Structure 1
Amino acid sequence: MEKNLKRMATMQRMQSTGLELFYQQGYYNTSIDDILKKLSLSKGAFYYHFQSKEDFFISIVQNLLFQKVYSMLVEPIEGQEDPLNVISKSIEDALETAEHNNMDFGFVLSNFITEFNGKNPEIMKYLTDIMKVWEVNLITTLQKGKTDGYVDRHVDSEAVATYVISSYIGVRTLMVEGNSKMLRYKYVQQLKNYFKLISQKAVA
């Protein structure tokens, strides 16, 4: 039991450090040696836990990246009333977290999707599955909002979800080099204005 807990703690530490390195440098610019140096581990210790760098990265996507995206952008809106308000709040909270990150390199999930697109179909599937979970949850929440009278019944929920995801990725990219506080504020105000247009009240 104690041995298993120690192994799990080691893997957690390895994955957290690995995610940090891959996020900062990119997957293809990060070598096994970079990871070992950062963790003060031997190659033997690394390969005891993971078969390859790719296997290591996939474990990070499954265990850490999914949880990060889910807890920030999916869980806060799941099954909630008043979907337009809860969606805009989840977006604003995520952007505020990014704004206070001194080592911001953009939205981690979209960074990896861009890096692996056309290069590694297996890893791409894991990454796009996370994006799909977010998209499906947005659509489900908006559809429920239409049924409950919060969202205009003529609204295309899939189109709104696409807009929310793509605009969020866009502003996160701009925030890396721009005035993140101002960009967050302006984006959130425009998002709220857009949501007012598609709310049930707009046609009442």
Structure 2
Amino acid sequence: MEKNLKRMATMQRMQSVGLEIFYKNGYYDTSVDDILKELSLSKGAFYYHFKSKEEFFISILQNIIFPKVYSELIAPFEGQENPAVILDKCFDNALETAEHNVLDNGFVLSKFMTEFSGKNETIVKLLKEMFKVWEVNLITNLQKGKTDGFIDRHVDSEAVASFLMSSYMGVRVLMINGNAKLLRYKYIQQLRSYFKTIAVKR
């Protein structure tokens, strides 16, 4: 039991540090040696836990990135009613976190999708699946909002989901070198104005 816990703790540390390095330098410009140097680990220790750099990266996607996306952008909808209100809070909270977290400003899914596109179909497939889960969740909740009388019934839920995802990822990228706090404020204000246009008129 103690041995398993120690192994899990080592893997979590490796994944956290690995994500930081991959995010900063890019996957293809990061070698296993770079990771080992940062972690002060031997090659034997690395390959005891992971068969390859690719397997290591996939474990980061599955154990760090996807749970983070799920907790910030999907879980907040569970058991809630008006999707516009939840989206407002959900996006605002995630962007506030990004203000104080350089690693998260560019939205890791978007960054890695750009890097791996056309180079590694296995990883691109996983990233697409993560985007799909987010998209389906948005569409489902927008449809529910229409049924429950919060969203106008003529609204195209798929189009709205695409708009929300692309605008959210866009502002995260802008926040890297811009005034993150101001960009977040302006984006949320515009988002609220947009939600008024798709809401049922009371």
Q: TM-score, normalised by structure 1?
A: 0.96
Measured at CA, do residues 125 and 94 of structure 1 come closer, stay the same or move farther in structure 2, by a change above 3 Å? same
Name structure 1 gaps, 5 residues minimum: none
Three-state SS of the structure 1 residue aligned to 2:119 is: coil
Tell me, in whole angstroms, the C-alpha distance in 1 between the residues paired with 2:124 and 2:27: 13
Q: CA deviation at 1:61?
A: 0.6
What amino acid is the match of 2:150?
Answer: Y
Aligned to 1:179: 179
Q: CA deviation at 1:199?
A: 0.3
Tell me, in whole angstroms, the C-alpha distance in 2 between the residues paired with 1:12 and 1:85: 34
Tell me, in whole angstroms, the C-alpha distance in 2 between the residues paired with 1:103 and 1:120: 23
Q: Are 1:78 and 1:141, in contact at CA under 8 Å, matched by a contact in 2?
A: no
1:85-100 equivalences under 5 Å are 85-100=85-100
What amino acid is the match of 2:30?
Answer: T
Q: CA deviation at 1:120?
A: 0.4
| Number of equivalences | 202
Q: Are 1:107 and 1:172, in contact at CA under 8 Å, matched by a contact in 2?
A: yes
The answer to whether the aligner puts 1:169 opposite 2:147 as a matched pair is no
The answer to whether the aligner puts 1:111 opposite 2:122 as a matched pair is no
Q: Are 1:80 and 1:141, in contact at CA under 8 Å, matched by a contact in 2?
A: no
Q: Are 1:76 and 1:90, in contact at CA under 8 Å, matched by a contact in 2?
A: yes
Aligned to 2:80: 80
1:12-23 equivalences under 5 Å are 12-23=12-23
Measured at CA, do residues 102 and 55 of structure 1 come closer, stay the same or move farther in structure 2, by a change above 3 Å? closer
Aligned to 1:196: 196
Tell me, in whole angstroms, the C-alpha distance in 2 between the residues paired with 1:31 and 1:165: 32
Aligned to 1:43: 43
Three-state SS of the structure 2 residue aligned to 1:145 is: helix
Aligned to 2:24: 24
Q: Are 1:79 and 1:141, in contact at CA under 8 Å, matched by a contact in 2?
A: no
Aligned to 1:53: 53
Tell me, in whole angstroms, the C-alpha distance in 2 between the residues paired with 1:85 and 1:145: 10
Tell me, in whole angstroms, the C-alpha distance in 2 between the residues paired with 1:91 and 1:105: 13
Name structure 2 gaps, 5 residues minimum: none
Identity of aligned residues (%): 70
